Amino acid sequence: MSASTSTVRWGRAVAEARTNIALVKYWGKRDAALNLPAAGSLSLTLDGLVTRTEVRFDGKLNEDRLVLNGKAETGKPVTRISQVLDLIAALAGGRERPRAQVESTNSFPTAAGLASSASAFAALALAGSGAAGLQLPPPALSVLARRGSGSAARSVLGGVVLMNRGTAADGLDSHAEELLSIDEARAWGLRMVVAVTSEGPKETLSTDGMNRTQETSPYYAAWIKSVDGDLAAARQAVLARDLPRLGELTEQSCLSMHASALAARPAVVYFRGVTIEGHRAVQQLRKAGTPVWFTCDAGPHIKALTDAAHADAVAAALGALPGVLSSRVCLPGAPAQLIESGSGAAA
């Protein structure tokens, strides 16, 4: 082991991060190697959908190990966490690092299809850097999480989060920032209803879906061109606490993103029948006076932005749709948190 490595305190740490739902979506990259987004995005961090991750550097291990919800993983998931741990080692000044035991659990059933790389890589970035003795400020932590997964950059922060596209070639200005704290977002009364429509892993992974959209969709350029304006308008709507305007932009951004994906060749289709029925139900609720707006991500689940006074009724209405397995109301969530850190088994 190099001299510089021996000065790093390789220990263990535990961190928690929550998933987030984008109101202005991220879909496309300006640099694949550094995982830099082609445009900014805006999200709500959600309470209750938590990933808890322990990283323990251990000089006795000869490879990184990942245990996800009690099951040992191999292959690509391990390679992805190893890459983030290598970046942490570089930040810590170590030329080499001990291998690590990483154990991660989700507070929500992975089979429900809500398992998210956002909470996973935000928790990994915080636990990994903590286990290497680093106390990274939120922008640096967000940059690190972004290297694991673009949406993870946002889960480092709580409340309403703005992800900056950045312009620097090294990507160091491409990080998230808090636009409203968890307390401000809760005081406003923001709620996200999540209706789970199917079990099992998604059919096209987000990274593959967005890459295919970027490479083949004739509508990709128009989609990216629309994001800056939507983002500026959504930022204003958040600062003005204008829920109808934010909701309108949320629904537009989601449908524009999916329109670009639908036009990819071959098409990237995340909707199922129930997803479209969810959109229709949200429109009908809105016509009847409920402040609620539809969104969905790289999967068939229905999400609806609403307020505290209407969230239970929205969850009940979406929960009653044929094909919806369960629905829940999520409050704005907290930033990623370091739960424990200390010396571990690292030699």
Residues 260-319 that bind ligand 2P0 (CB under 6 A): 297-298
- In the sheet that holds 302-307, the strands lie side by side as 293-295, 302-307, 190-196, 326-330
Q: Binding of ligand 2P0 at residue 80 (CB under 6 A)? A: no
Q: Is there binding between residue 227 and ligand 2P0 (CB under 6 A)? A: no
Closest CB 117 distance from ligand 2P0, rounded Å? 4
Q: According to CB under 6 A, which one of 10, 12, 14, 35 is a site residue for ligand 2P0?
A: 35
Which span (20-28, 103-111, 189-197, 327-335) binds ligand 2P0, by CB under 6 A?
Answer: 20-28
Q: How far is the CB of 44 from ligand 2P0 (least distance, A)?
A: 11
Residue 327 within binding range of ligand 2P0, rule CB under 6 A: no
> By CB under 6 A, which span of 22-30, 66-74, 137-145, 233-241 interacts with ligand 2P0?
22-30
- The residue sitting closest to ligand 2P0, measured at its beta carbon, is 150
Stretch that binds ligand 2P0, among 3-11, 48-56, 58-66, 147-155 (CB under 6 A): 147-155
Shortest separation between residue 25's beta carbon and ligand 2P0, angstroms: 4
Establish if 166 lies at the interface with ligand 2P0 (CB under 6 A): no
Other C-beta atoms lying within 10 Å of the C-beta of residue 290: 17
Query: Residues 191 to 210: which contact ligand 2P0 by CB under 6 A?
Result: 206-207
Draw the binding track, 36-75, toward ligand 2P0 (x: CB under 6 A; -: no contact): -----x----------------------------------
Binding site for ligand 2P0 (CB under 6 A): 22, 25-27, 35, 41, 117, 149-151, 206-207, 297-298
